[in-house]
Amino acid sequence: MTNANVRTIDLRVVLVRSIYERNVGATSRAMANMGISKLILIDPKCELTIEAQKAAATGQEALQNRTVYSSWEEFYKNEPRGIQIATTARDGRGRLTEDLATTLNGIKTTHPAFTKTDAEPFVFHLVFGPEDWGLSSDDIQYANHCCCIPTYGDNSSLNLAQATLLALYIFRSVFGGERTKLDGQQKARAAQKKEANIFPENSLKQWLEEMNINISNKKMNAFTVLRRMLLQNSPSNKEFRILEIVLQQSTRRMREAKNHKPNK
């Protein structure tokens, strides 16, 4: 994400303890609408299955390439420190909130980082809480800003994906970006056709390795045989996605079983 007058921006969407997988998938779709691809999940409370894939629809990139952290501690250990903005529909003690647009305009005009146009991309983390009660005080204790997304009715609580879409639109309104060109559906159809041949190579390898199956033989091994068998049947894009979900879920459960195996 760039603006002619400021340094490059690396915007990352962070979902904390998300409850419903469809909301995570719909968030991925909203991110695709706004040209953002980095999705981070902290301690998610849902499994991401075909329902998340369906909700993401044509916006699969963020969902497929998501980063998952088990805790804030792991997040801070691995993520670069930039500006962290927590979103909330509540105010009161410990939550000095202001409109997101006001905060972003203030950062853009006064933050010293935006006088350096040749520096490394500046990282923003835009943080959204779980669907039931939102972010807790512990979640926002290290945030640089606590912001609300303006609403005009009595109900100030937004669906997670809707909140993400509105927040990203506000972010784009402040920091800019290249608008989508509505030049018909041919380009989208071509991209969809190209995507149809994506094979879940890494997931299949991890699944086999988790079962201690040796795939180091370059000419003939379980991986190459299964890949050839699957490709010979010309699976659709949807079938590839379902296969990848099944592989990822079974791999994760095998790892969990190993981690919880009692010591003899």
Would you write out the chain's pLDDT as a tens digit for each of its 264 residues?
Answer: 654 444 689 999 999 999 999 999 999 999 999 999 999 999 999 999 999 999 999 899 999 999 999 999 999 999 998 899 999 876 655 557 889 999 999 999 988 877 776 668 889 999 999 998 889 989 988 899 999 998 898 888 889 999 999 999 999 999 988 888 776 555 555 555 444 457 788 888 888 888 888 888 766 788 888 887 877 776 777 788 888 888 888 888 888 888 776 665
What local confidence, expressed as pLDDT, does residue 196 receive? 44
What local confidence, expressed as pLDDT, does residue 184 receive? 59
Residues 66 and 26 both lie in one domain: yes
Listed residues 131, 156, 175: the one ending a domain: 175
What local confidence, expressed as pLDDT, does residue 214 receive? 86
**3-state SS assignment for residue 92:** strand
Q: List the CATH number of the domain containing 22.
A: 3.40.1280.10
Residues 16 and 73 both lie in one domain: yes
Residues 194 and 82 both lie in one domain: no
Residues 204 and 163 both lie in one domain: no
The verdict on residue 4 lying in a domain is no
Max alpha carbon distance in the chain (Å)? 65
Residues 54 and 154 both lie in one domain: yes
Listed residues 156, 175, 194: the one ending a domain: 175
The verdict on residue 254 lying in a domain is yes
What is the rounded CA–CA span in Å between residue 183 and residue 195?
Answer: 20
The total of structural domains in the chain comes to 2
Residues 216 and 89 both lie in one domain: no
Does residue 249 come out as left (phi exceeding 0), alpha (psi in the -120 to 50 range) or beta? Answer: alpha
Q: What residues make up the domain containing 148?
A: 9-175
What is the rounded CA–CA span in Å between residue 251 and residue 227?
Answer: 17
The verdict on residue 34 lying in a domain is yes
The verdict on residue 70 lying in a domain is yes
Residues 127 and 171 both lie in one domain: yes
Please give the distance of CA 219 from its chain centroid, rounded to a whole number. 36
What local confidence, expressed as pLDDT, does residue 92 receive? 52
Residues 131 and 246 both lie in one domain: no
The verdict on residue 214 lying in a domain is yes
Residues 160 and 102 both lie in one domain: yes
Predicted TM-score (pTM) of the model is: 0.70
Residues 149 and 40 both lie in one domain: yes
Amino acid identity for residue 67 in this structure: T
User: 147 forms bridges with which residues in the sheet?
Assistant: 87, 98
The verdict on residue 194 lying in a domain is yes
Amino acid identity for residue 187 in this structure: K
The verdict on residue 181 lying in a domain is no
Listed residues 175, 209, 226: the one ending a domain: 175
Residues 147 and 61 both lie in one domain: yes
φ, ψ of residue 111 in degrees (nearest 5): -70, 130
The verdict on residue 2 lying in a domain is no
What is the rounded CA–CA span in Å between residue 163 and residue 142?
Answer: 21
Helix, strand and coil percent figures for the chain, each rounded to 5: 45, 15, 40
Residues 97 and 222 both lie in one domain: no
What local confidence, expressed as pLDDT, does residue 5 receive? 47
